[in-house]
Structure 1
Amino acid sequence: MLELSDAQIGGWVASFLLPLFRVGALLMVMPVIGTAIVSTRVRLFLTIAITLAIVPVLPPSPEFDALSLQGLLYIAQEILIGAVMGFSLQLFFHLFVVAGQIIAIQMGLGFASMIDPTNGISVPVIGQFLTMLTTLLFFSMNGHLVVFEVLVESFTTMPSGNGGLLTDQFWLLANRLGWVMGAGLLVALPAITALLVINIAFGVMTRAAPQLNIFSIGFPMTLVMGMIIFWIGMADILSQYQRFSSEALSWLGELVRAR
């Protein structure tokens, strides 16, 4: 008859439980998978499946009592690590949302908004378009596989039960918040510059011919020219995505290796 000791059962539970919480926290926070469009049950099944697949190649986890204070601290630490990784990916996706909002406001299309099904908030149509485009590019270029590779590597660089206080990770994450605004502005810069020239031209026309109704002419022209400029700018969106996605994924690797 097979007999199992408490130590053996505790070791098996620890080897599965801690990676489960880190993987689950990442999937609950990361873009697309962690949004409302994917049900909680599906995310739970993905968490269990990914954990079962990666546990055999992970370094051994410390043995602990799951109901003790030490066990709760280990679990909280794993949740924080996974959440920080997922939030860093959210920053990458939101830079395109920021770019879309800047372009929409500049071209006078800021009033045209729709409900974002992933976040449940109202966003400009251009920002939602860039979000969907970024999502398709992310999965078509296997960005999710790179994220899972970094996740598996994080168990070596930040072992379960030995992740420290995550002070360096939170500091790097806080410094990255300014990167979102700068990158979003860089993506929208060509459209902003072109629309600024158009607005200056309308200002000169109004100065030269005060009787001209600039509101009845300028607003439709700015809107139409803004759409044309945005369409032309889509020719360079792939190179911009590759640049910022490479930077974001490499930074994600640096995040889990920070000490």
Structure 2
Amino acid sequence: MTAEQTAFVPVLLFYLLTGIRFIGMMFTAPVFSASALPLPLRFWMAFLLTLAAAGSLQTDVPLILFDDWTSIVLLGTRELLIGSLLGFLAALPLYVLQISGELIGISMGLSMLSVMDPLSQVQVSIIGQLQFLVGMWFYFRWNGHLLMTQAVVESLKLVPPGKLALSISWDLGLGSWLNQAFVLSLRFVLPFYGAILLADVGLGFLARTVPQMNIFVLGLPLKVALGFFVLMVVLPVTVELMAENIERFIEFALMGVTAWR
């Protein structure tokens, strides 16, 4: 191998590992992971992001790696996991919002009403899909996709690809991520559950005082109307929660990837 080839190979490996990290993000990040998005387009986007990001970073990949294919495979796997972790945590507030919407739809009596999600190509609750689309709109409105890409670039500085240290710490703050997701889901759902509970209590009293009234016929439209009313009332709060947590979960992801050094 000539001197020029010796100098070029580490740079090539650095760009390859950087691209693998961006590919991992593409398979879990919002919108980019949609099955409706062609796979070649995802690879091309990862390639362009790699060219844009890696040029300003250090490319000193140790040459010892080229004598050990096992290390190269392990490094590639680590980069894929780091990118997937960043994309998943960036999408977690949207998934929490969608699942909360499905729970809200069940409490409203709309569990049988579902639509086809064009992004994931699966049947989802109409309220969950509505919540997800609202969250997606605000996600792009607040440049969440740019924050996510910036987080991957920042992770390349915190955990440069191609380092020899392959030890993995399992203390990635998983409990903290799950705790934040659980608290966020409760903050989304509790107003609806409180309103539906009050409606059920009122219908119960009505059933006791007016036994001849058909509560089942009255209850369903009442819960649907009440659910949509609460949905409109808490929309500003939902927007505020999304604004707080999109960047917070991306910061959690950056804190987590530092454990992979």
Tell whether the structures are fold-level matches, with TM greater than 0.5.
Answer: yes
The one-letter amino acid paired with 1:132 is L
How many angstroms does 1:26 deviate by? 0.9
Aligned length in residues: 256
How many angstroms does 1:32 deviate by? 0.8
How many angstroms does 1:118 deviate by? 2.1
- 1:103 and 1:159 map into 2 onto residues whose CA distance is 43
Name the structure 2 match of 1:167. 169
- 1:172 and 1:237 map into 2 onto residues whose CA distance is 25
Name the structure 2 match of 1:130. 131
The one-letter amino acid paired with 2:48 is A
How many angstroms does 1:235 deviate by? 3.1
CA spacing shift, 1:167–1:68, aligned 2, 3 Å: same
1:3-18 map, 5 Å: 5-18=4-17
The one-letter amino acid paired with 1:52 is L
The percent of aligned pairs where both chains have the same amino acid is 23
CA spacing shift, 1:91–1:155, aligned 2, 3 Å: same
1:35-184 map, 5 Å: 35-62=34-61, 63=63, 64-65=65-66, 68-162=69-163, 164-168=166-170, 171-173=172-174, 175-184=176-185
Q: Is the 8 A contact 2:29 2:91 kept in 1?
A: yes
Name the structure 1 match of 2:192. 191
Q: Unpaired runs of 5+ in structure 2?
A: none
CA spacing shift, 1:66–1:118, aligned 2, 3 Å: farther
Q: Calculate the TM-score normalised by the size of structure 2.
A: 0.89
- 2:67 and 2:87 map into 1 onto residues whose CA distance is 25
How many angstroms does 1:175 deviate by? 4.5
CA spacing shift, 1:20–1:246, aligned 2, 3 Å: closer
- 2:152 and 2:7 map into 1 onto residues whose CA distance is 26
- 1:6 and 1:235 map into 2 onto residues whose CA distance is 58
Structure 1 residues 94-126: Cα deviation after superposition (integer angstroms, max 9, x where no partner): 110121012111111121111222222221111
The one-letter amino acid paired with 2:131 is L
Q: Calculate the TM-score normalised by the size of structure 1.
A: 0.90
- 1:30 and 1:197 map into 2 onto residues whose CA distance is 38
- 2:127 and 2:178 map into 1 onto residues whose CA distance is 22
User: RMSD between aligned alpha carbons?
Assistant: 2.1
How many angstroms does 1:4 deviate by? 5.9
How many angstroms does 1:57 deviate by? 1.2
Structure 1 residues 157-186: Cα deviation after superposition (integer angstroms, max 9, x where no partner): 1121336444346x4235523432331121
CA spacing shift, 1:29–1:183, aligned 2, 3 Å: same
CA spacing shift, 1:174–1:166, aligned 2, 3 Å: farther
- 1:167 and 1:30 map into 2 onto residues whose CA distance is 23
Q: Unpaired runs of 5+ in structure 1?
A: none
